[in-house]
Amino acid sequence: MEYFVSGIGTDVGKTIVSALLCEALQADYWKPVQSGDLDNSDSKTIRSLISDDLHIFDEAYRLTTPASPHYSAEVDGVRIEPAKIHRPVNQRPLIIEGAGGLHVPLNDDQTILDLLMVWDIPVILVSRNYLGSINHTLLSIEVLQQRGIPIAGVVFNGTPTPSSEEVIAKYSGITVLGHIPEIANPDKDVIRSLAIRWREELTRKLDERHPMNVEMEKKVRLLVERGA
């Protein structure tokens, strides 16, 4: 069982949601591309938030500049090659955290979406309320659907905003996996407590993805690959 955590943009809470998913599903963690702030990387943040027995895999690319991965890689004199980023062989569930949103460029002609096309694993989309977030969330869902990339569901992070969340669920038809409250000072105890409360609902909803939706994703994916 593997899930890719992406956001509708930057700073929407992917790392906190990833920590909660790791703890709730007793999953290991992997951040393939880290751009900048290597002394306080997302992997180090996750290590400080989840159980010690859960494993953190090393990043495939550790880039020094806090910028879009394609530019950060250029500064470091390397090129990110999605086809050469191999998922860890793992016995436990695995949570993979992306960099920014779906259209974040990895090199001159490939984005996070191209990585997901290679992997074909379900995406958990993290949304956070701000002016424009409805549009950004629905566009992110639409591009995943157009590519035939499976969507496990959406997680709303931060202060509850029913008017936005309800319209996103209605227009998209995507499963809402949960609502994560604003966490001022996250630590292991807070993450563990929230994860335990979320675990039953999360696992039930992940198991309930409608077979018709899965079948439609496969058909769309086949058409995309054929260039139809």
Q: Could you list the active site residues? A: 31
Q: In whole angstroms, give the CA distance from residue 7 to residue 136.
A: 10
Q: In sequence order, what are the residues at sequence separation of 6 or more whose Cβ sits closer than 8 angstroms to the Cβ of residue 75? A: 63, 64, 65, 67
Contacts (Cβ under 8 Å, ≥6 apart) of 185: none
Burial 118-149 (b: 16+ CB within 10 A, else e): ebebbbbbbbbbeeebbebbbebbeebbebbb
Calpha distance 19→193 (Å, rounded): 12
Cα separation, 139 vs 168, in Å, equals 10
Q: For Cα atoms 97, 199, 89, give the angle at the middle one, nearest 5 degrees.
A: 40
- The neighbour count for residue 83, using CB atoms within 10 Å, is 9
Measure the CA–CA gap between 204 and 206, rounded to whole angstroms. 6
Helix (H, G, I), strand (E, B) or coil at 181: coil
